[in-house]
Amino acid sequence: MAKIDLTSLEWRNIVFQDRNKDYGAYTLRAGSSRRHNIAILIVFVSAIVLFSLPKLIELVKPKDREVVTEVTTLSSLDKPVVKNDIKKLGPVVPPPQLKSSIKFTAPVIKKDEEVKDNEQLKSQEELTKSAVAISIADVKGNNDKNGKDIADIKQNVTQVEAEKIYDVIEQMPQFPGGESELMKFLSNNIKYPVIAQENGIEGKVIIGFVVSKTGDISDIKVLRSLDPSCDKEAIRVVKLLPRWIPGKQNGVNVNVRYTLPVSFKLQ
């Protein structure tokens, strides 16, 4: 018996001979071969994907990081050479011996006519009005003839504190004529360095200096640099400044730090 191809057109014509071919079964048989081929292809592709899936997962899975177990050995450094640049100091001068401010005088009984006016005890009212300073510091000294009184030392300390330099005070120092005159003075005396002009350098040099309690300018420094030539010119002009009106703190002239911007601008 000959083999029959169930998907062939002849087989469909034999089955549907003298029948209505517009019926759905004929159409389904006509497309059955195509559907079978698509189904086989889908099964084949799915099988390949399933068999390859473990391999794909292994490729996508991130590899474990390697742990470095090697210990880096630090190179041994040479011992630093210590330079003996310490300046030799002169002999240490001990502090001066102080006179003792704690004294006890044994009472002496005298007749009234023998007591002098300056030896009589003062009343509380007289002590209050007295211009003599009474120290509240108790110093145990050695009563040496060459010893110094604590009041003298306190006076020296007060003089050192008076030389303090302030940053902000009640009345800041002022250029004679005010800020407008100061700007006019700077513009009239600044000479733009040729090197800075050729290089197109412009900006501000911040200069700091101290206005003393007498109005003199000292301790001139460049706080923010622009260019070496501009810095040098700014310092030169600040040194030409006349005496200022000194600053005051509590009505007393004091030393004050002052900051001045010096501008360099190309026309």
CA dist., res. 41 & res. 48, Å (int): 11
pLDDT of residue 109: 72
Beta strands at 165-166 and 252-264: parallel, antiparallel or unpaired? parallel
Instruction: Decide: 31 and 12 in contact? Cβ < 8 Å.
Output: no
pLDDT of residue 69: 46
3-state SS string for the chain:
CCCCCCCCHHHHHHHCCCCCCCCHHHHHHHCHHHHHHHHHHHHHHHHHHHHHHHHHHHHHCCCCCCCCCCCCCCCCCCCCCCCCCCCCCCCCCCCCCECCCCCCCCCCCCCHHHCCHHHCCCCHHHHHHCCCCCCCCCCCCCCCCCCECHHHHHHHHHHHHCCCEECCCCECCECCCCHHHHHHHHHHHCCCCHHHHHCCCCEEEEEEEEECCCCCEEEEEEEECCCHHHHHHHHHHHHCCCCCECEEECCEEEEEEEEEEEEECCC
Domains of the chain: 112-161 (no CATH), 166-264 (3.30.2420)
Q: Which residue has the tokens 């899936």?
A: 53
pLDDT of residue 71: 47
Beta strands at 217-224 and 203-211: parallel, antiparallel or unpaired? antiparallel
CB atoms within 10 A of CB 204: 14
pLDDT of residue 56: 79
Residue ranges in the chain whose pLDDT is less than 70: 1-31, 62-108, 111-113, 115-162
Give residues with Cβ within 8 angstroms of 203, minimum separation 6: 226, 230, 263, 264
Mean pLDDT value across the chain = 75
Instruction: Decide: 212 and 244 in contact? Cβ < 8 Å.
Output: no
Give residues with Cβ within 8 angstroms of 265, minimum separation 6: 202
pLDDT of residue 212: 93
pLDDT of residue 147: 62
Q: Which residue has the tokens 């940053």?
A: 167
pLDDT of residue 176: 92
